[in-house]
């Protein structure tokens, strides 16, 4: 049996990255992701790997870009304001088809907001976020275990699709201490013949996103579109709980889904037929799973730590013939299982 170790979600993500062969970490302090960065500063150099505390998140993402271009697994971690600064670099990497992992440990509010956990970066992480036509794969862990596992998966998918992958966590998940079953280190990393390794015995490699002629850029962008379509077909991930006989489904991801799970158990004890659909991939979003569910479930309750972002995707998936309600808290305030239960009761009446 795998060794179980008690650790915070942030540390679990860091350890997952190390297991996945992440060679370089570049980051800038911001709460609530600081312990991830600090952990990397202790762990990476003794392994002969690279840690740099940069002057900004801009610099961090562009160092990730360089390291990735050189063929290495590289990552950064940040939170809200820093994630905003990194959008340009993420867009460049999507355009240049460079893998990268970005862990966004979400905090609250627009602006400086608060350092409490929240999920307000949902649109930014799932709809593109930066300029131009692109998508990033977005994975939403809901436990310290998944902070590790999905960070490892993020590196795998980033290489598979040559595209940035965002691990969308939040302050609650990042800080919470939970037992984590340690995984085996990734033994073999994929070859990267496209990387910048010095033009020795091969024609030069150029990594760019620019084409001066629109007619030259369009086929490249069409290829990207096809790639995003492949992600939609192959990379949808979600978890179902108690949905077999349910007449009401809660939809929640990340730490909101933890409260939702408890609420489902409490509601079941009251005889309410409630289940949970927890998206694990936010892009691609489990639209099909939800629209299938809508064939047999009447009501949907969306629990999120943002002002109504996830709920838009759920409404889109289930169509106009279903009740879709929102239960949420903002600003870094916890959404309790009791509050969700109350919303379930209200909707069931």
Partner 1 sequence: MAQTKAAKSDTILFAAPQSLEDVPLHYCPGCGHGIVHRLIAEVVDKLGIADRTVCVASVGCSAINYLYFKFDGLESSHGRAPASASGIKRCRPDLIPFTYQGDGDLAAIGTAEIVHACARGENITVFFINNAIYGMTGGQMAPTTLVGMHSTSTPGGRNPALAGYPIKVCEMLSTLEGPAYIARVSIYNPAQVRRAKQAIELAFRTQLAGLGLALVEVLSPCPVGWGVEPVQAMDWLVEHMLPQYPLGEYKVTEAVQALKEVKGHA
Q: Rounded CA gap, 129 and 73, in Å?
A: 22
Residues 164-203 that bind partner 1 (CB under 8 A): 196-201
Q: Rounded CA gap, 90 and 237, in Å?
A: 22
Q: Rounded CA gap, 341 and 260, in Å?
A: 8
Return the residue of 50, 186, 217, 289 that touches partner 1, per CB under 8 A: 50
Residues 198-257 that bind partner 1 (CB under 8 A): 198-201, 204-210, 212
Instruction: Return the number of the residue (9 or 164) whose C-beta is nearest partner 1.
Output: 164
CA distances from 23 to 55, 101, 119, 156, 276 (A): 20, 12, 29, 14, 37
Which residue in 323, 334, 302 sits closest to 122, CA to CA? Answer: 302
Q: In whole angstroms, how large is the CA radius of gyration of the chain?
A: 20
User: What are the φ/ψ torsions at residue 4 (nearest 5 degrees)?
Assistant: -105, 130
Residue 165: strand pairing partners:
101, 137
Which residue in 222, 229, 271, 225 sits closest to 247, CA to CA? Answer: 271
SS3 300: strand
Is 70 a binder of partner 1 (CB under 8 A)? Answer: yes
Which residue in 124, 149, 120, 118 sits closest to 138, CA to CA? Answer: 124
Which residue in 326, 277, 280, 275 sits closest to 304, CA to CA? Answer: 326
Instruction: Return the number of the residue (24 or 267) whose C-beta is nearest partner 1.
Output: 24
- Contact segment (CB under 8 A) with partner 1 among 86-94, 220-228, 284-292, 297-305 equals 86-94
Return the residue of 7, 14, 36, 65 that touches partner 1, per CB under 8 A: 65
Residues 16-35 that bind partner 1 (CB under 8 A): 23-24, 26
Instruction: Return the number of the residue (25 or 253) whose C-beta is nearest partner 1.
Output: 25
Return the residue of 30, 36, 72, 314 that touches partner 1, per CB under 8 A: 72
Binding mask 277-296 for partner 1 (x = CB under 8 A): --------------------
Is 66 a binder of partner 1 (CB under 8 A)? Answer: yes
Is 89 a binder of partner 1 (CB under 8 A)? Answer: yes
Instruction: Return the number of the residue (72 or 83) whose C-beta is nearest partner 1.
Output: 72
Smallest distance from the beta carbon of 206 to partner 1, in angstroms? 4
Contacting positions for partner 1 (CB under 8 A): 23-24, 26, 50, 52, 54-56, 58-60, 62-72, 74, 88-89, 92, 96, 196-201, 204-210, 212
């Amino acid at each position: 049996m795998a060794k179980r170790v008690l650790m915070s979600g942030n540390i679990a993500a860091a350890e997952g990255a190390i297991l996945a062969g992440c060679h370089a970490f570049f980051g800038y302090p911001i709460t609530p992701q600081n312990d991830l960065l600090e952990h990397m500063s202790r762990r990476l150099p003794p392994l002969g790997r690279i840690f740099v505390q940069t002057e900004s998140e801009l610099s961090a993402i562009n160092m990730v870009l360089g390291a990735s271009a050189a063929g290495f697994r590289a990552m950064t971690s940040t939170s809200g304001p820093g994630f905003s600064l990194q959008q340009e670099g993420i867009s460049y990497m999507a355009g240049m088809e460079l893998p990268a992992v970005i862990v966004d440990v979400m905090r609250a509010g627009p602006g400086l907001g608060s350092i409490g956990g929240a999920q307000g970066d949902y649109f930014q992480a799932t709809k593109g976020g930066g300029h131009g036509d692109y998508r990033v794969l977005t994975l939403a862990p809901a436990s310290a275990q998944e902070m590790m596992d999905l960070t490892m998966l993020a590196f795998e998918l980033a290489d598979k699709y040559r595209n940035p992958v965002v691990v969308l966590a939040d302050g609650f998940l990042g800080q919470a201490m939970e037992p984590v079953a340690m995984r085996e280190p990734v033994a073999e990393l994929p070859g990267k013949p496209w990387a910048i390794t010095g033009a020795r015995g091969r024609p030069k490699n150029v990594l760019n996103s620019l084409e001066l002629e629109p007619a030259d850029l369009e086929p490249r962008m069409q290829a990207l579109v096809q790639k995003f379509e492949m992600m939609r077909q192959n990379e949808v991930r979600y978890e179902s709980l108690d949905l077999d006989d349910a007449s009401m489904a809660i939809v929640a991801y990340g730490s909101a889904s933890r409260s939702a799970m408890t609420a489902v158990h409490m509601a079941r004890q009251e005889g309410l037929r409630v289940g949970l659909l927890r998206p694990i991939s936010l892009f691609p979003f489990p639209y099909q799973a939800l629209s299938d569910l809508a064939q047999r479930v009447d009501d949907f309750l969306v629990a999120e730590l943002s002002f109504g972002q996830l709920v838009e995707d759920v409404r889109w998936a289930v169509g106009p013939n279903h009740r879709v309600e929102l239960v949420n808290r903002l600003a870094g305030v916890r959404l309790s299982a009791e509050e969700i239960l109350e919303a379930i009761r209200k909707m069931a009446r």
